[in-house]
Amino acid sequence: MGKILIVDDTLFMRTLIKNILFTGGHSIAGEAGDGEEAIAKYKELKPDLVTMDIVMPKMNGIEALKGIKAIDPAAKIIMCTAVGQEQMVKLAIKSGAKGYIVKPFQAPKVLEEVKNVLAS
């Protein structure tokens, strides 16, 4: 079980991911609504894993991923993309993302991915 930072600009998606993670027995380290806040919260909270939306205001998920990796190269980050943005995955892989989920997603599969990434 891990301590997880949820990064998404919509409250609805953050609440959904939070609920899914709770049902899997994980705890929530914190939440962030954009890339800048994600980097600041990562430094402060040192979570075991981050779920990161890609399209966000101020700083997008790919830039935030790079920012977190610069602070902690071992950071475990799962990217959340919408259907049709899968091309972004390639960029995320290059930048060090450990997993990828496509919205809309189903709880059991998300928990499986979180478990795999935490164990990696």
Task: Enumerate binding residues for another protein (CB under 8 A).
Answer: 12, 15-16, 19-20, 83-84, 86-87, 89-90, 99-110, 112-113
Least distance CB 120 / another protein (angstroms): 11
Q: Please report how close the Cβ of residue 18 comes to another protein at its closest, in angstroms.
A: 9
Nearer to another protein, 41 or 98 (CB): 98
Nearer to another protein, 58 or 108 (CB): 108
- The least distance separating another protein from the CB of residue 108, rounded to whole angstroms, comes to 6
**Cβ nearer to another protein, comparing 39 with 77:** 77
Distance of CA 1 to the CA centre of its chain: 16
93 contacts: CB under 8 Å, gap ≥ 6 = none
Of 48 and 105, nearer to another protein (C-beta) is 105
Q: How far is the CB of 24 from another protein (least distance, A)?
A: 11
CA dihedral 44, 50, 52, 58 (to 10 degrees): 10
Dihedral angle at the C-alpha atoms of 5, 114, 96, 14, nearest 10 degrees?
-40
For residue 54, how many C-alpha atoms fall within 13 Å in the half-sphere facing its CB?
Answer: 24
